[in-house]
Amino acid sequence: MVMRRIVIVLAVMALGGVLAGCWEARQAGHPRSGTSPAINTNGGGDADGDRQTDETHEYGERILTVALRTQAASIDVDVGDGPVRVRERIRHSGDPPPTSRTVDGTTLRLENHGCGAATDDRVCEVAYQLRLPRDTALEVDSGAGSVTVRGLHGDLRVNTGAGRVHAVDLGSRNVSVTAHAGAVKLGFDRPPTLAEVRTEVGAIDVRVPGNTSYAVDARTRVGTARVAASHSPGADNRIVLRSNAGTVSVDST
């Protein structure tokens, strides 16, 4: 039964890899009244006749949370001073994916509903590059595509169907990652209050500061679980790791 589940999930991961290689995602749309307009816009085509857009938007409002919802996209997040900045790049051969960017109170919402049915000769690629103040909370719901985060101190939640999740230099107190097919790697600069990671198929690698004890619960059904960080069942800082198939490890730095 376990092996049958692994075969099924691997098939899903292969399909997700095709989707991620065609990393669709959100874009277009226009900022809501009160947001800054695009500060840089480029469009045109390439030698293959595909159409491309490259837009950068800044948001001067008080943004506490950025929420991304996409069918497939490459997502890259850095921290920096200044307002929230969103760069969206799209390359497509058919109709552009319908997308939106809206500010709802203190939350910036980015959404994309995909490019429709894929064909061998159809191109649909989307990439997001975000620059956020380091204490911004980030929520990502993605069908497929890699997620990379550097230096974030706000809470982090990622749910992806297929794709690698790599977050380093984290100061986030609360981190939750669910990856149905894909490896997850987290590196913390300060101890998390709760780090919870779940995968169907994919290795989990968590690295935490070594000057703190952690209540670690690390399990995998197929693979090995290794805990090399200081472990104390009653510790205030908790790490919960679950994988159906994949190596699970916790190390201290």
Residue 228 lies in a domain: no
Measured between alpha carbons, how far is 205 from 47 in angstroms, rounded to an integer? Answer: 41
Number of structural domains (the chain) is 1
Residue 153 lies in a domain: yes
* Of 246 and 40, the one with more pLDDT: 246
Question: Is the entire prediction scored with pTM above 0.85?
Answer: no
Range of the domain at 133: 2-182
> What integer is the mean pLDDT of 34-55?
61
Q: Which two tokens stand for residue 84?
A: 């929230």
Beta bridge partners, 186, equal: 167, 206
Tell me the percentage of the chain whose pLDDT exceeds 70: 77
Residue 33 lies in a domain: yes
Note the pLDDT tens digit of each residue in 119-162: 555 677 889 999 999 999 999 999 999 999 999 999 999 999 99
* Of 85 and 98, the one with more pLDDT: 85
pLDDT reading at 235 higher than 80: yes
* Pair type for strands 156-162 and 174-181: parallel
* Of 209 and 27, the one with more pLDDT: 209
Residue 41 lies in a domain: yes
Handedness of CA 78, 79, 81, 86 (dihedral sign): positive
Residue 201 lies in a domain: no
Residue 226 lies in a domain: no
Question: According to the model, what pLDDT value does residue 124 have?
Answer: 77
Residue 19 lies in a domain: yes
Question: According to the model, what pLDDT value does residue 38 have?
Answer: 54
Residue type, 99: T
> What integer is the mean pLDDT of 223-245?
97
Residue 9: DSSP 8-state: H
* Pair type for strands 38-45 and 99-104: unpaired
Note the pLDDT tens digit of each residue in 215-232: 999 999 999 999 999 999
Note the pLDDT tens digit of each residue in 177-193: 999 999 999 999 999 99
* Of 26 and 178, the one with more pLDDT: 178
* Residue 103 neighbours by CB distance under 10 Å: 18
Residue 232 lies in a domain: no
Identify whether the C-beta of residue 93 lies closer than 8 Å to the C-beta of residue 49. Answer: yes
